[in-house]
Amino acid sequence: MDIKLSIKSSDYYVIEGTEVSAEHLIAPIATAEPEQESMIPKNLSFFKRLTTDTVFLSGRQKCLNMLMSLADGASSVVSHKKVKELSERVSAFENEFSPDIVESCRCILRILRDYNHRTLIHERWLIETHDLLENKRLTIGVFGRHKAGKSTLLNALLHQEVLSHAVTNETAFILSIIHVPHKDVSKNCASICEESLSMHEKSENVYGRRAIKNLIKKNNKANRTETSFVVKHETMTAHVPFLCNSSTSNINVELMDTPGLSESNKLGISELAEHQLMTCSAFVYVISCLQLQDAVDSESFEAILKRDPGVFIEKRLLIVVTRLDEYKIPVTICNDNTVADDDEDENIYYTIEEVISSIKSTVKNHFKEISEIPDDCIIPVCASGANEARKASMNIKYDCDKELLVFKKMLGRRINEEELEALSQIKVLEEKLGYIATDAPRIWKYSIARDCCRYLDQSVTEIISIERELKACRDSYNEKVAKKRAIITSYIKEKEALRSKYEHMGDFHKKLELAYDNDIESHFDDIKKAYMDKFEEFCASIKSKKKITLEDYCEETKKFIETTNQETKSELSRMKFKQLDGVINKANVFLGGKQQKLVSLMSSFCETEDINGFDELKDVDETEQSMSDMLNTDHSDNKYDSPKMLEFKDLVTKSKSENLTFF
């Protein structure tokens, strides 16, 4: 962390390029309760610190002492020795959590990947964060709409034209540019840029600016003509000059170029673009001065701020407004409420300071409902002018006449290529990016911990949602089981009632016997008269015979008895047993209703449609069979096996297959 005394006042200190008063730093810490110091373990407190935006939660007393010593020296000139001592204490404070945090994040990622099963978190996010952790990579993402000037800006930062750029959409895949420090410090930084360029193509590496530029053009064209929507993410190594003067420790800083956000769906890479946006540690958001009022940028800003609320406070989100030389200050309202004439403004040229101020005001006003943007996070640049000026410094063919003319009119004098590079504001952007690179170790740890916290929150949310679904399934299952148990209880109760009613010598049999006796008694006189008439005829026939032997008499008597019994039986069969028929018919109706109820209960249990009841039982012989026997007898080979009876048996078989006993 770069801390030095400000030239303006001894009450202010420049920390990471920002003037901060000692009182402003001390106030939120001094008012905190000291009991929190020992309440939470270091690991836990760090993650809580990240999620609550409290910068100092653990190690509070050390930080307080450090800042108090800084405040004590505010009334006088702080010596170089004091600043050095302070820097050492800051470094010690930064390293306080390092081992625990990294190991904790590594443990969290391992657990999440082991138990994720692609249900809690997108697997690609975990892989990317794990790669950032293990390879110690810090990504500065360059985002924006198509034709915003992202590739031109990156070319200017690389001091050479490598990426394709045109008025049409060019970039069609995601490109990571990994910085490679050069070992030969005697060489000029810009002169060694091309020597470090390399890009992997199939089984071999491609070297040189022209070869890589042609390869990128080829990949852009191929990705735009493909219909498979296969996501492409290429990697290029390059020497990034502005990172030369930035000490990134052992953190590998990379730049990432992306296609325009508005055309991501056309290329089929919206998911990956969002994923890459969410895993960046710092952001360069490129907006053309011709697209300042675009709603797409507002939505993207909201997504970044929601995920990482501290990006503006820590200067990790830089809004770069390109085409500075093409910007026109909006027409203002005159004092008499009339609009100034556009024709009159055509010959008016504003100073570079006025143009930059107008751009910053426009950006702030456009995004004021989303967030308050610090003034130094908005950087208007002329990327094309910077690119051409740097070509000139490397003796490469260039064309910056248009930019030179515009700035000549702004300044009122001619300028050269070196002045054009300075006026393009590219060095201001490089300085801001240099602060981010210098703070890479802290930002890297913060980003890893932030992503792990986000994954944990997302996992907990998903687990809670899954838990709710499981509870709902459990409740539904228990309710279903309770209903089936009630059905079983009702079924068994009905079955037992039928068995007790129709079992042998039960109530039904007694009613049958009584009805039969009553019917016989009602026909007794007719039967007796008919029998007596036949008997008298038999006696008369015996008497009419003059002589009969005992043997003949016995034979005649036997024949008379047999004939009379047969005729009586025949006559009895023709008689109507009204009471007996009534009992049987009532039993048939009752049994039909009970059967319907039992079938309905069985259908409800097996979750099938209701089956109509059996045909009414009409045979007396069938009705005389006890209900207990009917329920327990296999009728597979007799005449009572109707289709409905078979369906009923199927239900019984199904219920038995579920290990539930009804019979």
Residue 57's nearest CA partner among 42, 79, 78 is 42
Q: What is the pLDDT of residue 61?
A: 45
Counts for the chain of helices (H) and strands (E), in that order: 25, 12
Q: What is the pLDDT of residue 120?
A: 66
Tokens 């002492």: give the residue.
65
Q: What is the pLDDT of residue 54?
A: 35
pLDDT band at residue 271 under the 50/70/90 scheme? low
Q: What is the pLDDT of residue 318?
A: 93
Whether the Cβ atoms of residue 246 and residue 434 lie closer than 8 Å to each other: yes
Whether 32 has a pLDDT exceeding 80, the answer reads: no
Q: What is the pLDDT of residue 169?
A: 57
Whether 344 has a pLDDT exceeding 90, the answer reads: no
DSSP state of 248: -
SS3 content of the chain, % helix, strand, coil (to 5): 60, 10, 30
Residue 631's nearest CA partner among 488, 486, 497 is 497
d(CA 208, CA 160): 11
Which is it for strands 137-144 and 18-21: parallel, antiparallel or unpaired? unpaired
Q: Identify the bridge partners of residue 5 per DSSP, sorted by sequence position.
A: 13
Q: What is the pLDDT of residue 328?
A: 83
d(CA 287, CA 41): 44
Which is it for strands 174-179 and 233-238: parallel, antiparallel or unpaired? parallel
From the CB of residue 385, how many other CB atoms can be counted at a distance below 10 Å? 27
Q: What is the pLDDT of residue 472?
A: 92
Q: What is the pLDDT of residue 47?
A: 36
Comparing 34-43, 162-171, 571-580, the range with the smallest average pLDDT is: 34-43
Whether the Cβ atoms of residue 297 and residue 291 lie closer than 8 Å to each other: yes
Select, from the ranges 150-154, 184-188, 532-536, 622-626, the one with the highest average predicted confidence (pLDDT).
150-154
Q: What is the pLDDT of residue 50?
A: 35
**Domain made up of 136-438: CATH architecture:** 3-Layer(aba) Sandwich (3.40)
Whether 521 has a pLDDT exceeding 90, the answer reads: no
Q: What is the pLDDT of residue 196?
A: 78
The contacts of residue 515 (CB under 8 Å, 6+ apart) are 577, 579, 580, 582, 583
Interval 279-296: pLDDT, tens: 788 999 999 888 777 655
pTM higher than 0.85: no
Whether 379 has a pLDDT exceeding 90, the answer reads: yes
d(CA 1, CA 315): 14
What Rg do the C-alpha atoms of the chain give, in angstroms?
A: 49
- Alpha helices (H) in 544-619, listed in sequence order: 550-574, 578-606
d(CA 277, CA 307): 10
Residue type, 598: L
Give, in order, the Cα–Cα distances in Å from 101 to each of 97, 105, 111, 194.
6, 6, 15, 38
Comparing 198-202, 264-268, 452-456, 606-610, the range with the smallest average pLDDT is: 264-268
Which is it for strands 378-380 and 204-207: parallel, antiparallel or unpaired? unpaired
In the chain, domain spans: 3-96, 136-438, 478-505+585-657, 524-574
Whether 204 has a pLDDT exceeding 70, the answer reads: yes
pLDDT band at residue 14 under the 50/70/90 scheme? very low
Structure-block tokens of residue 194: 């091309």
Whether the Cβ atoms of residue 137 and residue 131 lie closer than 8 Å to each other: yes
pLDDT band at residue 230 under the 50/70/90 scheme? low
Select, from the ranges 220-229, 366-375, 386-395, the one with the highest average predicted confidence (pLDDT).
366-375
pLDDT band at residue 68 under the 50/70/90 scheme? very low
pLDDT band at residue 77 under the 50/70/90 scheme? very low
Select, from the ranges 77-86, 159-168, 540-549, the one with the highest average predicted confidence (pLDDT).
540-549
Which is it for strands 282-288 and 137-144: parallel, antiparallel or unpaired? parallel
Structure-block tokens of residue 530: 């008919």
pLDDT band at residue 576 under the 50/70/90 scheme? confident
Q: What is the pLDDT of residue 33?
A: 41
From the CB of residue 483, how many other CB atoms can be counted at a distance below 10 Å? 12
Mean pLDDT of all residues in 7-16: 42
d(CA 512, CA 175): 97
d(CA 316, CA 312): 6
Interval 137-187: pLDDT, tens: 889 989 888 788 888 899 889 888 888 766 555 667 788 888 888 766 555
Whether 96 has a pLDDT exceeding 70, the answer reads: no
Mean pLDDT estimate for the chain = 71
How buried is residue 174: exposed, middle or buried, by Cβ count under 10 Å (0-12/13-18/19+)? buried
Comparing 119-128, 370-379, 462-471, 479-488, the range with the smallest average pLDDT is: 119-128
Which one has a higher pLDDT value, 285 or 663? 285
Q: Identify the bridge partners of residue 321 per DSSP, sorted by sequence position.
A: 287, 380
Structure-block tokens of residue 104: 């904790």
Q: What is the pLDDT of residue 39?
A: 36
Whether 566 has a pLDDT exceeding 80, the answer reads: yes
Mean pLDDT of all residues in 377-404: 79
Which one has a higher pLDDT value, 260 or 475? 475
pLDDT band at residue 52 under the 50/70/90 scheme? very low
Interval 296-339: pLDDT, tens: 567 777 878 887 888 888 889 999 999 888 888 876 544 444 44
Whether 633 has a pLDDT exceeding 70, the answer reads: no
Question: Burial letters for 119-151: b for 16+ Cβ neighbours within 10 Å, e otherwise?
Answer: ebbbeebbebbbebbeebbbbbbbbbbbbbbbb
Q: What is the pLDDT of residue 451?
A: 84
Q: E strands along 103-190, which residues? A: 137-144, 174-179
Q: What is the pLDDT of residue 616?
A: 35
Whether 486 has a pLDDT exceeding 50, the answer reads: yes
